[in-house]
């Protein structure tokens, strides 16, 4: 059985999905498929493999923001 997600991280990711993705935007996650905001939220709520991948992506993005890695990458272009 897979370990449960940290409830605070789950709450943060759900909030970010609500506030940063337009309702009509679709996001493709490799071979897993294409999902709209509500579908992404459902997968996070269900804590399935897709939901775990979404959480992992969001945490990497937040880390890149907080360490300045995102700004450095954008400045290079």
User: Looking at the 3D structure of the chain, how many domains does it have?
Assistant: 1
Q: What is the per-residue pLDDT for 30?
A: 87
Domain that holds residue 71: 7-76
Element holding 2 (H helix, E strand): none
In a domain, 27, yes or no: yes
Per-residue DSSP letter, 26: E
CA distance 77 to 55: 27
- 76 has pLDDT over 90: no
pLDDT tens for 56-74 read: 999 999 999 899 888 888 8
pLDDT tens for 2-60 read: 788 999 999 999 999 999 999 999 999 889 999 999 999 999 999 999 999 999 999 99
CA distance 20 to 28: 16
CA distance 15 to 32: 22
In a domain, 39, yes or no: yes
Residue 1: pLDDT band (50, 70, 90) is low
Residue reference for tokens 């609500």? 18
In a domain, 22, yes or no: yes
The answer to whether the Cα torsion of 60, 29, 37, 55 is positive or negative is negative
């Amino acid at each position: 059985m897979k370990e449960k997600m940290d409830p605070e991280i789950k709450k943060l990711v759900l909030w970010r999905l609500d506030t940063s993705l337009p309702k009509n935007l679709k996001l493709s996650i490799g071979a897993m498929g294409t999902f709209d905001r509500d579908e992404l939220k459902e997968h996070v709520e269900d804590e399935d493999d897709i939901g775990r991948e979404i959480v992992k992506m969001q945490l990497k993005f937040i880390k890149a923001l907080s360490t300045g890695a995102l700004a450095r990458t954008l400045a290079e272009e």
